[in-house]
Structure 1
Amino acid sequence: MSERSCPDCDVLMEQTNVTAEGVGDLYIETERDGGILDRLGVGYQAPLSAYLCPECGFTQLYADLSE
């Protein structure tokens, strides 16, 4: 994944992990009925990557659309 900058602080964000108790990796669930993700070629699930701003704590999630 490429480098990401915080939209508020304009500093380099750090890749991090987002977890929930008893849950493994986070995924985005996609609709397969001709929705936007279907048109982009995303399968039923796409893994998510998290980025955290070390200055303000802003966190962004990005779907890995390459799989």
Structure 2
Amino acid sequence: MPTRRCPDCGVTMEEATTRTSDGFELHLVTDEPKDGLLGTLGAKEKLKPTTYVCPECGLVRQYVDT
């Protein structure tokens, strides 16, 4: 994972786990169709974001590896 720096404080952000209240991981659904058969059936691409938290100011940011 790349090192992320807080845009406000300039310190290194810490990786965190983000889950729903039911314990499921978050996913971002794009407008891009999924590859293969599922894409032809209308399924959309899902991406898993990585969450980072600034230990100084508490800023939370999510990034998707592309």
Tell me, yes or no, if structure 1 residue 58 matches structure 2 residue 49: no
Structure 2 unmatched ranges of 5 or more: 34-43
CA distance in 2, matches of 1:5, 1:49: 14
Give the % identical residues.
34
- Normalised to the residue count of structure 1, the TM-score between the two structures is 0.75
- 1:12-42 CA-to-partner distances (Å, cap 9, x unmatched) read 0000011221141111101026xxxxxxxxx
- Normalised to the residue count of structure 2, the TM-score between the two structures is 0.76
Q: State how many pairs are aligned.
A: 56
Aligned CA-pair RMSD: 1.6
AA aligned to 1:57 is: G
Tell me, yes or no, if structure 1 residue 27 matches structure 2 residue 27: yes
Structure 1 unmatched ranges of 5 or more: 34-42
Residue number in structure 2 paired with 1:47: 48
